[in-house]
């Protein structure tokens, strides 16, 4: 398959919507990371996403909607707390897992009784979803547009690096603002459960709900992003609590520093010591260090507080080395 990479002009967005309607695969920017989109109502097109990513077919994908009006088409029930979160935080980096309707096929849900829904705020994602959906309840199924198990893409170049030849069109809308994936809250067990920390801080979720969401237990729905070594660079990566000491043990390692400053180069990146800016740059930084040729990556640890919660989650996964549960 020939992959076209195009600036996200109105013409390119209109073409992308036509390709989606025809069953094609289109990668597009959202405020979190780039998504690999297909018509969520077309099971063959959704299956093509899994083939392109080389992802197992039983993993559910998020359905992206232009606005909350489409929720009733995909979900059979919207609990009041879910409604509150949607009203307060959509469009934005929040995904709600809700009981599925008959329209949500097994291809989309991975065979579970729930469906993931998200209304992204990115200008290009919004324009594409509107052009694609027209007046109906259509949605775009889209996981992150990376090869299975790899780092999520935050630029069109990242997408092309991973998926060139496996996707029809990549809409280039520049670098993603948030830089890490959406926060996922599930409403399948009564009480809201935080399945994945992400772009919306968990403190925001708690503020809207009036209480903290629960953390997953053994009965929580499966989410591939919750496998231990999701979002991993290809180079073995270690988390360093004391970066100076770790460097003494691993002198050839490439470094993602946060407080210990060094000369910037292919093997040393001084990341911003601010959780929002750190998240914005994180995946591009990991990809750059991964490409540096170093045999190991050292990542300076981040504070154990709420503001860093989502970043910390990604770093723990990126540095988990058990290949058996890589996703």
Residues that bind Mg ion (CB under 5 A): 144
- Work out the end-to-end distance of the chain between its first and last CA atoms, rounded to an integer number of angstroms: 25
Element (H, E) at 298: strand 297-300
Across-strand partners of 144? Answer: 35
Smallest distance, Mg ion to C-beta of residue 9, A = 27
Give 21: exposed, middle or buried? Use CB within 10 Å, 0-12, 13-18, 19+.
Answer: middle
Instruction: Please enumerate in sequence order all residues whose Cβ is within 8 A of that of 120, keeping only pairs 6 or more positions apart, or say none.
Output: 30, 31, 32, 64, 91, 92, 93, 126, 129
Site string for ligand TXA, 3-32 (x = CB under 6 A): ---------------------------x-x
Residue 225 is a binding residue for ligand TXA (CB under 6 A): yes
Smallest distance, ligand TXA to C-beta of residue 178, A = 8
Q: Quick one: which of 35, 91, 213, 216 contacts ligand TXA (CB under 6 A)? A: 35
Residue 92 is a binding residue for ligand TXA (CB under 6 A): no
Interface positions, 36-65, toward ligand TXA (CB under 6 A) = 59-62
Smallest distance, ligand TXA to C-beta of residue 144, A = 4
CA-closest candidate to residue 283, choices 251, 311, 253, 320? 311
Query: What is the number of other CB atoms lying within 10 angstroms of the CB of residue 279?
Result: 24
**Residue number, 75 or 254, with CB nearest to ligand TXA:** 75
Smallest distance, ligand TXA to C-beta of residue 252, A = 32
**Residue number, 17 or 227, with CB nearest to Mg ion:** 227
Inter-residue contact 79 to 60 (CB < 8 Å)? no
Pairing relationship of beta strands 193-196 and 62-64 according to DSSP bridges: unpaired
Residue 184 is a binding residue for ligand TXA (CB under 6 A): yes
Smallest distance, Mg ion to C-beta of residue 225, A = 6
Residue 266 has φ and ψ, to the nearest 5°, of -60, -25
Across-strand partners of 100? Answer: 75
Would you state the structure tokens that stand for residue 120, as one six-digit string? 């992204």
Site string for ligand TXA, 95-114 (x = CB under 6 A): x-x-----------x--x-x
Using CB under 6 A, list all residues that contact ligand TXA.
30, 32-33, 35, 59-62, 93, 95, 97, 109, 112, 114-116, 118, 142-144, 181-182, 184, 195, 221, 223-225
């Amino acid at each position: 398959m020939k992959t076209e990479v195009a600036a996200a002009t109105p013409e390119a967005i209109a073409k992308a919507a036509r390709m989606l309607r025809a069953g094609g695969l289109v990668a597009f920017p959202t405020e979190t990371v780039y998504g690999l989109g297909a018509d969520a109502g077309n099971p063959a097109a959704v299956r093509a996403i899994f083939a392109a990513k080389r992802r197992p077919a039983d993993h559910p994908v998020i359905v992206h909607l232009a606005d909350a009006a489409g929720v009733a088409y995909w979900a059979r029930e919207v609990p009041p707390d879910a409604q509150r979160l949607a009203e307060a935080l959509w469009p934005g980096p929040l995904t709600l897992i809700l009981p599925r309707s008959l329209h949500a096929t097994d291809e989309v849900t991975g065979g579970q009784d729930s469906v993931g829904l998200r209304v992204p705020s990115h200008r290009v994602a919004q324009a594409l979803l509107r052009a694609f959906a027209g007046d109906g309840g259509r949605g775009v199924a889209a996981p992150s547009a990376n090869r299975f198990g790899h780092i999520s893409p935050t630029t069109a170049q990242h997408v092309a690096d991973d998926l060139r030849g496996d996707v029809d069109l990549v809409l280039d809308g520049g670098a993603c603002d948030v830089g890490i994936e959406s926060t996922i809250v599930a409403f399948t067990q009564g009480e809201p459960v935080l399945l994945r920390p992400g772009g919306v801080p968990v403190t925001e979720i708690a503020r809207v709900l009036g209480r903290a969401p629960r953390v997953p237990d053994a009965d929580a729905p499966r989410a591939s992003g919750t496998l231990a070594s999701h979002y991993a660079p290809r180079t073995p990566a270690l988390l360093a609590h004391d970066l100076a000491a770790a460097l003494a043990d691993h002198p050839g390692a490439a470094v993602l520093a946060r407080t210990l400053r060094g000369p910037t180069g292919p093997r040393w990146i001084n990341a911003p010591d601010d959780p929002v800016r750190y998240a914005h740059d994180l995946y591009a930084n990991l990809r750059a260090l991964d490409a540096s040729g170093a045999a190991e990556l050292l990542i300076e640890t981040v504070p154990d507080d709420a503001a860093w919660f989502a970043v910390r989650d990604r770093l723990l996964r990126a540095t988990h080395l058990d290949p058996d549960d890589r996703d």
